Each structure stands twice: as C-alpha cells, then as structure tokens.
Structure 1
Amino acid sequence: MQFFQLITHFIYGTLALWQTLIQGKPNIHNVLTQETDEFIEKVIADWNSPGGIAVAFVRKDDQGRWNIETKGYGRANLGGAKITENTLFAIGSNSKLFTALAVGLLIHNETLSPRLSWNTKVASVIPSWELMDPIATKQATILDIMSHRTGLPRHDFSVKSFDNITDVIKKLKFHRPSAEFRDVWQYNNHMYTILSYLPSVSLQHVTPLERYVKEHILVPLGMYSTTYSRDGLNATGQFVEGTIRQGVNISENPFGNGTVRSIPFDWLDSWGEVGDLYSGAGGVFSTAADIAIWLQTLLLGGINPSTNRSVIPVDVIEKVSAGVTVENGKSAFPELSPTVYGGGQARGTYRGYEIIEHNGLVAGFNTLIARLPFPNLGVAVLSNDHTYGGFITEIIKYRLLDEALGLKRVDWNGRYKAGIKAPNEVKRPIDPSPPPVDFSALAGTYNNHSYGKIELCLVSNNTSLSGACQALLSKAPRVLPGGVELEIPTFLGEFNGMGMMYISISHFDGSLFNVTGLNSIATRDQAEPYWVFKYPTPSNIYAEFAVDDPDFGFGLTGIWGPGRGVLSPRGDTVRERAEVWFDKIL
C-alpha cells in the first residue's frame, strides 16, 4: 500500500511539473513597463510628493497562469531610502476587509455556541452594546454595522489615546445619530472596532483579532510580512515614514514645497502584537509583495494561489463584496458608476468593468486596493504622502487599468490636478461682536460623556489660571510652536483625542468660535523639537457658546463626519443644533 502511494505521488508530481513546463509564462503583457515607470515618476514629480509609492499588479490569463508585478518608486523616508516591493506601509482602512473576513470565518465556525450569522443582533453578542437610538440598539445586526448603516456619523474624535475597545462600546450611547437607522450610508470606524471584538467574545479561548487573522488568514496564505505588530515593524527596518507638507499656501501654489515633515506613529514604541483599539478599523501594515498574494486570493475566491488550498470560504468573500448600502448614488466622472458598500469593500464599475475596491488613510499614508473580477486582475497602490497620496494612488490605479484593458488613456493626472483649489475660507469680520459674557467667563472645564472633559484655558489671561492651565500655557510655545493664535482671543485645551491632541478655540464673531485640532509631533532635531500638525486646515469646525442656565456650555458643529447629503442638526437652541454638546461643569 505504501509503495502504491509513493508511485501515485510520483506520477502526479511529475504530471504537475510537466504541465507547468508546458504552460510556461502567462500570455499577458506587463503593465509596469519603462513607459509606465516614467509616467509614475512624473506623477510623483507633478504633485511634488516628498514620498513615493509601491505598486502591486496581478492578472490571471485564460489558462490560469498568473502575471505578478510589484515595484517601488520614490522615497521611503526623508533620508532618501528607496521604496521597494518589501517596504511596509500602514494600509489604513484597507484593514477593514481583514476584519470583515475574520467575522465571516467565525460565522462559518460550526463549533461556536451560540452560532453567529450575518443577521445576528449585535446586542445578543455584546450585552453592553447600546446606541442613542433604541431601535438601532435592538435591531442592528453584524451586517448593519459592517455596511455602515446604523445612523451614526463618524464621531472619530471621541476616541482618546488611552481608550480601549470596551471604552469605545460604552461611549456609543452618547453619540448623537445624524440619520435614521438603515436610512443612509455613513462611514463609521467604531463599528469595525466592534467587529474586531467578536473573536474575543465568541471563541472559547479568548483570541484577539490580530492573532485570529494571523492564524487563519495571513500565515495560511504566506503573507508573512503583513502584521498588526508595531514591535515587528521596528524589527524589520522596512517600515516607510509617512510624510506631509506643512505651511503650503494653496492659494498661491497648491503643489508648493512648504516644509516637508515626517509623521511617525506615536504608539510605535508601546504597541506589541496586539494593537487593540485601532486594529479592526485600520491596524494592518503590509507590503506590495504581500498585497499581490492578497489580490490573487480574493480573485480566486479565497484560495491560496501557491498551494491551491481554500483559506477563506468563497461565500464569505462574496458576502462582504456584495453591496448592502448605497455609498454614492452619483458618479463623479463619466467613466465611473454609482457605488454600493458591503464589508470593507465598495463595488461599482470603471469604464464598463465591475470593480471592487477600498482606500485607506491614516496619518502619513494613503492606500488603494482594487480588483476587477471578470478580467481577473488586481491593482494596489500604496503611498506615504499624506497630503496628496489619495490623488496619486487613484491616478496610477486608473492608468494601470487603462493599460491592462487596452483602453484609450484618460488624463486622470490632469483632471485631478485641475480640481485642486484653495478651500473657501470665511474671513473673520473686521469689527467682530464680542460674546454675550466676558471671555474670561467662558474659560473653565466642560464635559461631554463621550468626548470627555476639557479645560479651556484663555491664552491671553495671565491671572486666575488653574494649575493645569498654567502648565499647559507654559509648555505651549515649545510643544505647539506657531499653533496658538495670539492676536485673537483664544482658548487652548488638552483634548487627548486621536488626531486631535489639543484643541484651539479662537473667537470669530459673537458667540461663534473657530476650532482647530492641534497635534504636537516630536522631531529628532534639538533645535526644533516639535512641529504642529493642524486639523482641519482651514478650520470648518466651529463652536457656539450658550451662557443661559441650564444650558451653559458650547456646541461643536462640523466635527461628527456625516454621510453625503446629511445635514447638521437644526434647532432653536445651541444645544439642539450642536453635533456634540459640552456642559460647563467648573
């Protein structure tokens, strides 16, 4: 019997080798040609990018043979190191697909008790789940939160640097919804934080998402460079630096140099294998070489392209790739279609070809991963340019698709460049009205149950300051150089939010104030130890103060991040029309 098995294995192995030799190379032309290389380098130069990109392109011919191309262009860091196919990028929200597929694997797990399904109510799995809308609390399913139709806008800035997953869950009931349940698509990172919690609460042996994805997806596919681990990034030395241009005058020259800065991940030194809070929504790091494997796997319906073994059930991939919610009911260009959203995937068409894709943005990085299922091709473009990387990745994606599909080229580079304009900025009145009370009366401590406590310190007030305000204003010139307005009555407070470490509230007119988030970024230069990353620029967030009891406080507008066409609240009082309301407590 053993002899027969050996002979059988030998015969099949020989046949497989012979078939490979007969098939030879795939009958597909490369898209990363010298001409394409020159185009990509030109795009990087046209947008004056301080960084670069990595590209992965895969295509299967009608004989089942793959053509795989991966390449790096431009700078990995300000020191001039080159990007390669093995350079690690933060892929941002392209991490969401890993989370959605992990949930799909849990749904396929017949040993779970109770079993999960796409229609499982979130409240039945996570008892502490509660939203402000009681209908959404009771009815929201895994499919609802995966496809962004809970009625909640983003509320990204409610997350604090010291929060964990359970903190996020507890805060949800204090987030004001901006739409009815299942009424409209509204992107919400917190929902993927909730999804990332399911492996821990569903499995008998508590398993964090990061380890579950590693054991059930990454290792079985041979994606050994892809990781959630910050320790692993530091060990490889292959991690690319995020870059941004500071101080560019967009009105004069939107592609000006400004001051080029690097954006490090503040948590790199403290995060290990488990990233916890951020993993589900945007915690994955990967390379062009690994993303090529990922694209092949998705196009093959979950099969490892090297071993031909099924790693992810095909129905799971089909489920998360199918549209549930209308993401965009109107296309931006004639070559595109409206799009629908499933789980970490948007679906539409490009020039008549169905395309399934997603982009990703975290501080310093823009990424895009797309696949066209019927021509059996996929493309990924990874950028370390925070400012314009989102445009650069789109331009290169479309050029490579036009090349691969044999279509007449569209000048996407010219289109996107022509669309860059200075945002409209409302100037402060020359003679603004003062607020109804003295500025010093507005100073103090305010609270929102989700966004937390914040003490507003009047910058120009040198008397009657609390100890905390004295300490903050004393260190501000060093840690927030040029970040605090001195000529306009301004309040400064420590916000401790992700993407908003400090908050500056500067008087505009009457009870209205402009709001800017300030992030203090450390450098390696003793002469200039910090620089300030402002968000947004110019400010489209404003605060409105109310000084009548019991409504002494302020409301923020422009901060919650609603879906397309969703308006801010309306009302007769400041509290009613605020997206986020803070009560004054001290």
Structure 2
Amino acid sequence: MAKIGQLVLLFVVFCLGLAAFWLPIEWPSILNAVSGSTFSSWSTIGLRNGPAVTAVHWAITPELWDYVESLRTKANVPGISFGVVRLREAEAPETEFGTWGLKTEDGESVTPDTLYSIGSCSKAFVSASLGLLIDDFASGRNRTELPPSVKKLTWDTKVASLLPDSDWSLEDPYATAKANLRDVLSHMSGLARHDLSIAPRDDVVDAIKRMRHLKSPYELREKFQYSNQMYSLVTHIISTYSGQPFTDFVSERIFKPLNMSDSTYDAVRAEQSGKLSHGWAPVGRRIPFWKFDVTGDVSDGPGGIISSAVDVTKWAATLINDGVNPWTDTSVIPKSVVQETTTSSTILIGRALAPWVSLEGYGMGWARWTYRGHELVGHDGGIMGFNALVLYLPWDKIGIVGFASVDGGAATLGQAAYRILDQVLGLAPLDHSAADAAAEKHESVEDTVVPAEHPPSPDLDDSAPLGAGDSASTENGATAEVLAALEAFAGTYGNIGYGSFALCAPTSTSEHCKDVLATFASIPSFRSEKHPLAGDDHTAEQVRLSSDAVSPPYQTLLRPGLYGHWPRWVSSHIVLFPLPDAPRPPAAANASAPPTRAFSIALPALYPHGFGRNTTPFASYVVGTDGSWGWLGPRVECTVVGGWVRGCGLFTGPLSGDGEQSVEERAEAWFTRE
C-alpha cells in the first residue's frame, strides 16, 4: 500500500526530489558487520523449472551490480532484489535477476525468490481482476447474477447500482449516485485519503460503511485524490459478483495461470515458506511483519500481496505481451483489460519537469510517462518495512521489478531502475540525472533534518507546566503563544468516521494515562533531553516500573506533548507536539475566528521491549509520519473558546483552503472534544 500522504510514483521520486524525505539512520550492528551482498545475477531462458545460472549479464552487469550496491550501502537498505525481463519476436523471454544484501537479521542473503510485501503494486491486480470479472459477464462465464437494474457490467457501471444503500454512500450525494468503477480505480471519487480511519481489525464492509462519514474535499472527477479505500471497495464488488473471496479469485485467475507459485496474501504461508524477508523501519530497526498485526481484509486490495522478483517478473512479462503468458502462450488477462487499466484518464503531472521525462498520467492502478523518449507504465509501493516498484516499456518489451526490505527505500529502487533501463536500452547513463539531483538534495539537507526517531518538539522548560498565555520557545528560536495549558488539551476526541482516542498530558493521572505515559517513557526518543534518563536505552524497565507513581515523574521525564494509544493499521500510538505559530494565508485575516493551537503529529509504532535480536526499546514510523515536517506535514489544529478546547481538526498536508473558513470547515477530519 502506498504511504500516508500523496502517492509516490517512481517518476515523482526523481523529479520532485523525494529522496529529501530520507532521514539519517543507524542500522543494527549485525547489518554493519555483514558485507555479504551476494552477486546472484541470474540470466535465464524461461522459468518453468526455475532459473539457471549463466555467465551472461545483459541487464545487470558487474558494473551495474556495483552501482546498486553503492546505492544500497549509502542508503542503509538491508536487502534489495531486482528482476528484468525482455521479450523478443519468436524467442522465449529472457530474464535476469540481481540481489544485494540480507534477507534476515540472522545473515541469510537475498535470493531472487525472496518474498517481500509489494504494497501498492498490488493495486494493478485489483483492476486486472475487475477486468476479468467484466469479461466473465460479457462472455457468459459469470457465477452470479447482476442486479436487475444492471444490464451489463462495464468500467462505467455505477457503484450505487452494484451495492445496497446501506453499504455504499459518500458525503456528496452526487458522487454517491454517479461514481463509476473507473472513477474509484483512477482516484477521482473526490474522497480524501483518510488512511487513519482504518483500524487493524477492520473488514472491507466496515470501511465502506464509514465512507459516508468521511470528508470529500472535491467533487466527483474534479481532482486526483489517492484513495486506498476505493481499492478495498472494488475487492468487495469482485467478491460479491464472482462468488468467491477476492484473494481466492486472484490466486485462481492470475497467480496460478502465471505460475506465480510463491505469491500470496497469506502472511502465515509466506513465513512458513522460509522465503519471507525481514522488514526494517527507516530508523534502522527490524520490525514485525505488518500483516500479522492487521487482521482485517481492508489492506488486501490496495497493498496485500507478498511476492518475489521471480514471480512479479512473470506478471510484468505477461502485461508486456498484452495479457498472454509468454512462456505458455495462453491468455491470462484479456488484451482489452491491459489496455483499459494502463491508459491514463487523469493527469498527475501536467508538464515535464526535466528534458528526459514527460508529463505523467494515471489509469487504474498504473501511471504512464516517458523516459528519454521511451514510454513507461509503472507503479510503486511503500508499506511498513518494504518498498517495491513494477514498471515496463510496452514498445520496447522490457520489464523491471524491484524490492527493498525497508520502508523508505523508494528512491534507491528508483535510481537503480533508471540505471538498469539505461543499460538495457543501450543509453549512456545521464551525467546529472534527476535521481542524482535528488540524492544531492538529500545530502544538502541531511544535517538539518530531525532523525525519524526524534520527532521535533518545543524546547520547553521542564520545570514548569505550560500555562495559559505562556510563550514556548521552539528549536528554531520561534515562539508559540500557548492559548491554554497543555493539560487543557488532554481528553477524549471523537469522529464518527475515525472513532475516538484519548490524549494524555504528562501530568495526567488516570490509570489509562499512566499506562500510556509509561509506555512512551520507555522509549528514549520521547524523553526530555534535560532529564538524566534521556537517551539511555538501558533504563526501559526502570521507567516502566514507575507507572504507578504520581504524575510529576512523567512531567519531567517526557517531552512536552500529548500522548495517546490509537491503534491504526500504520501505527499503534499518536503524539502531538506543539507547533510555533505559522504565517496564515492572506485570506486568514478573520478577526472573529476563534483562536487555534496547532500540533505536529507523530504516529509511531512503539516497541518497549525491542524486536528481533535487538531488545532495546524503540519507535518506528511510516515515512512521513514522524512529525518532522511541522506545518508542511500531518498536523492537528485545535479551536479554543474561552479557554475550553472545543475540538481539533486533522490535516495531512500544507496549509490549504479559504482562510475565512473555520478549522472545522477546513480540516480533513474534525474531532469533537467529548
């Protein structure tokens, strides 16, 4: 599944410099101690009996392998795997694989059949599956019947005609009635992203029924709004009208015909195979495989597939071949479905950002652009512990798939993929590619970005609580007027679409808050820099034992902020750190508007007892959710009336909206103080 924030496509990684989002990290000592990246570049003809090692390297040459290894070590990515396929007239497909680094923290090396979570690269399997279902109904192979009002299932069939009103409804009645299957798969429904409305145990129907309570900031077909939930919606439609679970449909209709024998949605099966890679967080720590904690099926469609370079290379080769398995010469995906899903219906980037790339469009689970005059179709994926990309050149008959065992490895995969493209196309590598520019930008800001394990917070005097009218100095020297004591913001907040959560100040004394604060206090990165225990990784148990104490130890031990336990599918907890005042848009000169207080949001997954070989406490974050972006990243703005906090609005991007609007009107989600 794709990360919280806007969709990160491969082209955007380079041209917009998303490598600048990377943060300084330190890997466990076992990774530093092992230099065993293995040169297992396999070149094969066919894959039916498994790859055969040869000495021919037409795609991943020794020089290119060294280049990718230098990228990997520089970015501290534990493991990388690439597959390349080339189709030629009247010849069997040629495939080649390259692997770098470790599969596990125990020292096992990556191999071409190492399994990774492929995140949003799973979306293309949803759109292809819907195309297969459409073809089934068109050819009379359907197992179920359509509603009486639906004469024919097409890409333009309205969602409202396929689901009951009790399930399907959006905030906008027009979008509810008119949104069709193409709209929801091309992210043009108008619904905002709302990933944080998803809890780990949610099922698809739970998510669909809550959509009516989620804000749609744009009208239907007005603006691209990346939505993982719409891909969950389509999996429900496929299950309903195929007569079988969505994951079984994909296995039966795609995995098996393509001999993608290791590909699965089942984390237990993947682990039992012995091929599953460990996943790491950007902070350099190994984290649990995310699907063991996400028990609902909401994530299956937008990001649930577990696969390998060997298997996904077969998928790419079939798409290049217009849906025909090039090894068996059997049609798996109708050519019309490949064409429909990969044809751009939405413009993502309306003008070229560099001479060697084009504008970029989006179809249904695929983006489309050109690189150095060659047309590409592709998508990337980022999910807890992993990054992935799949791209192919429909005219040149070349496909490239890549995987990394860390959330935050997208830029490394992208740089490597473009260099592989240069090699296979016979192009001289660009002297100053957009990828290199992005890397330089990363290096230039590296020293000024707060590490992901240390979200920013005001450097406040720990000796006294924040009081009404106090002025808090921040790390950059700015001051922020505190409209109410920090304790005034503690309490329970609710939104019907998101549920509720409780926020605790360091001085809160309820049993629930003492447990929450004790958990945070066990993580060194949340301790005040002025406290004697700050940064001490070996005092977790001492801190945990103080959970029965009164509040002052937490007031001095923890950094000033609001702490809560709020299990989401991307995190386990939530932290709000006060932000300094920021310049408002010119239209914000509304003197009658109630005062507001803003906080940056950190959404960590907390591990008080560590994980894997390293048992020291730590926090991990999905890229972009560590709170380091300040006003430009996820934040909360609270409305204060007469010293009373009326509620808080959630924002996941830069300042936007009419400055005359209230926080409640501008927010993506409004949480009422309960």
Aligned length: 531
Note the 1:297-446 alignment, pairs <5 A.
297-387=318-408, 389-411=409-431, 412=433, 414-420=436-442, 421-422=445-446, 428=458, 430=473, 432=479, 434-446=481-493
Matching residue of 1:17: none
1 CA distance for matches of 2:304 and 2:612? 28
- Deviates most, 59-68 or 207-216: 59-68
1:119 and 2:156 are equivalent in the alignment: yes
Query: Which string of whole-angstrom CA distances, capped at 9 and with x for unpartnered residues, describes residues 286-341 of structure 1?
Result: 11111121111111111122221111111011110111111221333321111111
**Equivalent AA in structure 1 for residue 648 of structure 2:** G
2:420 maps to a residue whose letter is L
In 1, the alpha carbon distance for the partners of 2:279 and 2:267 equals: 15
In structure 2, the residue matched to 1:501 is 572
Which residue, out of 203, 206, 213, partners 1:174? 213
Going from structure 1 to structure 2, the CA distance change for 1:570 and 1:120 (only over 3 Å counts) comes to: farther
Pick one of 225, 241, 244 that aligns with 2:262.
Answer: 225
1:346-403 residue CA offsets vs partner (Å, 9 max, x unmatched): 011111111100000001111111110111111111111323x111111111111111
Normalising by the residue count of structure 1, what TM-score does the alignment of the two structures yield?
0.85
**Counterpart residue identity of residue 483, structure 1:** F
CA contact (8 A) 1:325 1:340 kept: yes
The match for 2:133 among 106, 115, 123 is 106
Contact 1:347 1:356 in 2 (8 A): yes
Which letter does structure 2 place at the counterpart of 1:156?
D
**What is aligned with 2:507?**
460
Aligned to 1:583: 672
8 Å CA contact retained: 2:649, 2:664: no
Larger mean Cα displacement after TM superposition, 503-512 or 395-404 = 503-512
Match of 1:197 in 2: 236
Residues 200-215 of structure 1 correspond to what in structure 2 (within 5 A)? 200-203=239-242, 205=243, 207-215=244-252
Counterparts in 2 of 1:100 and 1:126: CA distance versus 1, 3 Å? same
Aligned partner of 1:240 in structure 2 is 277
Match for 1:54 among 81, 87, 109?
81
Q: Is the 8 A contact 2:600 2:627 kept in 1?
A: no
**Is 415-424 or 531-540 further displaced after alignment?**
415-424
CA drift of 1:483 comes to: 3.0
Q: Residue 64 of structure 1: CA displacement? A: 3.6
Alignment counterpart, residue 45 of structure 1, candidates 73, 84, 90: 73
> Which residue identity lines up with residue 575 of structure 2 in the other structure?
S
The answer to whether the 8 Å contact 1:554/1:574 transfers is no
Q: Secondary structure at the match of 2:252?
A: helix
Shift of 1:434: 5.0
Match of 1:548 among 621, 626, 641: 641
Q: Is the CA contact (8 Å cut-off) linking 1:570 and 1:576 kept in structure 2?
A: no
Q: Which is worse superposed, 422-431 or 168-177? A: 422-431
Mapped contact 1:184–1:326 kept (Cα < 8 A): no
Q: Aligned letter for 1:538?
A: S
Q: Is the 8 A contact 1:552 1:583 kept in 2?
A: no
**1:283, CA displacement in angstroms?**
0.3
- Distance in 2, matches of 1:232 and 1:344, equals 26
Q: Residues of 2 paired with 1:160 and 1:417: CA distance?
A: 35
Equivalent in the alignment of 1:492? 563
Q: Do the aligned partners of residues 446 and 245 (structure 1) sit closer, same or farther apart at CA in structure 2, a change above 3 Å counting?
A: closer
Q: CA deviation at 1:407?
A: 1.2
Shift of 1:495: 1.4
State how far apart, in whole Å, the 1-side matches of 2:642 and 2:339 are.
55
* 3-state secondary structure, aligned to 2:390: strand
| Structure 1 partner of 2:463 | none
CA separation of 1:398/1:320 partners in 2, compared to 1, >3 Å: closer, same or farther?
A: same
**CA drift at 1:270:** 7.7
Determine if contact 1:121/1:140 at 8 Å carries over to the other structure: yes
Which of 500, 505, 515 is matched with 1:471 structurally? 515
Aligned-residue CA RMSD (Å): 2.6
Secondary structure of the structure 1 residue equivalent to 2:574: strand
Deviation at 1:69, TM superposition (A): 0.8
Counterpart selection for 1:573 from 632, 656, 662: 662
Q: Could you tell me how far apart the structure 2 residues matched to 1:177 and 1:543 are?
A: 18
Matches within 5 A, 1:123-134: 123-127=160-164, 128-134=167-173
Alignment partner of 1:556: what SS? strand
State how far apart, in whole Å, the 2-side matches of 1:447 and 1:549 are: 21
| SS of structure 2 residue aligned to 1:533 | strand
Superposed, which structure 2 residues align to 1:557-568 within 5 Å?
557-559=650-652, 567-568=656-657
- Secondary structure of the residue aligned to 2:254 is helix
Give 1:169 deviation, angstroms.
0.7
Q: Structure 1 segments of 4 or more deviating over 6 A?
A: 423-427
How far does residue 503 in structure 1 lie from its aligned partner after superposition? Answer: 1.1
**d(CA) in 2 for partners of 1:537, 1:330:** 31
**Counterpart Cα distance in 1 of 2:99 and 2:235:** 31
2:604 matched to which residue of 1?
A: 518
1:188–1:568 CA distance, 2 compared to 1 (3 A) = farther
> What do the CA deviations read for 1:136-191 (whole angstroms, capped 9, x no partner)?
11110000000000112211111111211111112211221232220111211011
Q: Tell me which residue corresponds to 2:52.
A: none
Counterpart for residue 262 of structure 1:
286
Tell me which amino acid in the other structure corresponds to 1:530.
Answer: P
Question: SS where residue 109 of structure 1 aligns?
Answer: helix
Secondary structure of the corresponding residue to residue 169 of structure 1: helix
How do residues 132-151 of structure 1 correspond to structure 2 at under 5 angstroms? Answer: 132-151=171-190
Distance 1:533 1:340 in 2: 33
Deviations 1:468-489 (A, max 9, x none): 22332233323x4433665654
Confirm whether residue 84 of structure 1 aligns to residue 111 of structure 2. yes
Structure 1 gap segments, 5+ residues each? 1-27, 247-259
Paired with 1:488 and 1:414, the residues of 2 have a C-alpha distance of 37
**TM-score normalised by L of structure 2:** 0.74
Instruction: Choose which of 267, 280, 289 in structure 1 pairs with 2:301.
Output: 280
1:538 is matched with which residue: 624, 628, 651? 628
| Structure 1 residues 494 and 31, CA gap change in structure 2 (3 angstroms) | same
SS in 2 for 1:458: coil
What does the per-residue CA deviation read over 1:232-284, in whole Å, with 9 as the maximum and x for residues that have no partner? 111111111122342xxxxxxxxxxxxx211222442786xxx6211100000
Q: Once the two structures are aligned, what percentage of the paired residues are identical?
A: 30
The letter for the 2-side match of 1:106 is: L
- CA drift of 1:94 comes to 0.4
Q: Is contact 2:392–2:399 with CA below 8 Å preserved after alignment?
A: yes
